[in-house]
Chains A and B, each alone.
Chain A
Amino acid sequence: MPEADSGLRVSHVSYSYGSKEALQDVSFSVARHRFCALLGPNGAGKSTLFALLTRLFVSPEGRIEIAGIDLARTPRAALARIGIVFQQPTLDLELTVRRNLTYFAALHGLTGRAAAQRIDAALERLDMRERAGERARELNGGHRRRTEIARCLIHDPEVILLDEPTVGLDAASRRAITDYVHRLCEEDGLTVLWATHLVDEVKPQDQLLVLHRGRILAEGTAAEVAGDRPLADAFLSMTAAEAS
């Protein structure tokens, strides 16, 4: 894959908390416009990887490129191209959906009519337009997540990162959100990195990375990684073999 074509590229990134190694020499890349699922059991290092990708902290080793931009060298340009949905809810529950989004737009330097137009477009994309005036507290879990996904689109990012975005949601909301994000990838050409520990959120044609104990165990399309078995079985045997 040529350099310029990568939406997200991580090369030789390691990270440790004191003596505990959370990531060991992790390398992978996600082509532009691809949906890549990062599958790993709890404690595999997914959240650490996300913290490094969003520059909450930086890795002393390795290199991270967002849409071809080096995160260490020009962090602000790289951050401007990422949309992030955190695992923890980050909406201000007392504020309306629109106010939450306006606040976020302002953090990216957007205001006034330009911001309002982008907010409307993002809400429209997630079928949340008619909810704009409701307080976040009044929304159910699925709609709060959709608001957060709409929010991460406001500044028109090229890459979106979602850290276990379906945690705590019921099956229907999970399905809806997984479908929405797949569509963002297919129709709007976004590069998506979706962390999860649930195999049913991965579609056969998605790119798949299996992360376990800080290392990448498998990489390919989900269909390739699964082989002739269901993906769930392949995933369990992979992580179980490592564990024993």
Chain B
Amino acid sequence: MNAYIICLYAILERESLRFVGQRGRFVAALVRPLVWLLVFAAGFRAALGLSITPPYETYITYEVYIVPGLCGMIQLFNGMQSSLSLVYDREMGSMRLLLTSPMPRWWLLFCKLLAGVTISIFQVYAFLAIAAAFGIVLPWAGYLLALPALVISGLTLGALGLALSSIIRQLENFAGVMNFVIFPMFFLSSALYPLWRMAESSVLLRDICAVNPFTHAVELIRFALYAEVNGPALGWTLLALTVFMALALWGYDPARGLIRRKG
């Protein structure tokens, strides 16, 4: 077997075992979107009217609208949490162990990223299954087509986390990043409200939402869940992935020495 594949498989296996070991993390990852879906959305459906916009072909309830956004949220949290574990790993030394492997560094980081994405996709499907149990059922083709979309959105959000983890030196700073990255990205996106709704209250806010890569990741997932491809969202998400991945590789470049510790 090729050394690259052996390495990828080992990293996937290790991250999966760690995930299975942390049952609390899985429960938290599911409870968060379910609270939004079953509590927030239920209360909100009366307040917000939605017109028929693609990919929806009929009137939908608010719960149906926010499902793709919540899938994105799961991946956003997971991406940040994986990088939280990177910061922790770096302090604990196992990131050092990984980076001193003779494999190219970009491949090691990519394996780590892919492991995080795999776990996030597992979480998303578990969430979709529970949503289906509560009556929010999507077309069958949507469940299938969502997979490639989730891989792309997961890689993008994971790469963002990876880039951030190379910049953040300490765990304490990470709480700040959660506040300054996760919340703005989530609220300033199409996850909770359609952009045209946003424009009614503020055009500026709508414009901010429109350049937020998370909006495009969510739209990519939304269309995929209805077995449609949103070309612009796909393009923007891939562009964001390229930029975030380049930033992450730059951040982990040994010549830049961001993994510096005091000597």
Interface: B137 (CB within 8 A): no
**Majority secondary structure, B binding face:** helix
Contact A17 B255 (CB under 8 A): no
B9 proximity list for chain A (CB < 8 A): 106
Most buried by A among B13, B99, B260: B260
In Å, the complex CA distance between A95 and B17 comes to: 9
Contact A107 B101 (CB under 8 A): yes
Interface: A103 (CB within 8 A): yes
A88 proximity list for chain B (CB < 8 A): 91-93, 96
A104 proximity list for chain B (CB < 8 A): 97
Contact A109 B100 (CB under 8 A): no
Nearest opposing residue in chain A for B108, CB measure: A107
Contact A107 B7 (CB under 8 A): yes
Interface: B28 (CB within 8 A): no
Interface residues on A, range: 35 or more
Contact A17 B263 (CB under 8 A): yes
Contact B92 A90 (CB under 8 A): yes
In Å, the complex CA distance between A109 and B91 comes to: 25
Contact A109 B254 (CB under 8 A): no
In Å, the complex CA distance between A104 and B21 comes to: 19
B104 proximity list for chain A (CB < 8 A): 76
Interface: B23 (CB within 8 A): no
Mark out the residues of chain A between 17 and 55 whose CB falls within 8 Å of any chain B CB in the assembled complex: 17, 22-23, 43, 45-49, 51, 54-55
Contact A47 B261 (CB under 8 A): yes
Contact A108 B97 (CB under 8 A): no
Q: How far is the CB of A19 from chain B (nearest CB, A)?
A: 14
A103 proximity list for chain B (CB < 8 A): 10, 13-14
Contact B93 A57 (CB under 8 A): no
Interface: A79 (CB within 8 A): yes
Contact A86 B261 (CB under 8 A): no
Most buried by A among B4, B7, B256, B259: B7
Contact A57 B254 (CB under 8 A): yes
Q: Which of B97, B103, B263 contacts A76 (CB 8 A)?
A: B103
Q: How far is the CB of B20 from chain A (nearest CB, A)?
A: 10
A48 proximity list for chain B (CB < 8 A): 263
Q: Which of A23, A60, A76, A92 contacts B102 (CB 8 A)?
A: A76
A-B contact pairs, 20 of them (CB 8 A): A17-B262, A45-B263, A47-B261, A47-B263, A54-B96, A55-B254, A56-B259, A57-B255, A76-B103, A79-B100, A84-B97, A84-B100, A86-B93, A86-B97, A89-B93, A90-B93, A106-B9, A107-B108, A108-B102, A109-B4
Interface residues of B (CB under 8 A from A): 1, 3-4, 6-7, 9-11, 13-14, 17-18, 21, 91-94, 96-104, 108, 254-257, 259-263
Interface residues of A (CB under 8 A from B): 15, 17, 22-23, 43, 45-49, 51, 54-58, 60, 76-77, 79-80, 82, 84, 86-90, 92, 94-95, 102-104, 106-112, 214
The 9 closest A-B pairs by CB, nearest first: A109-B3, A106-B10, A48-B263, A88-B93, A57-B257, A22-B263, A107-B101, A80-B102, A90-B93
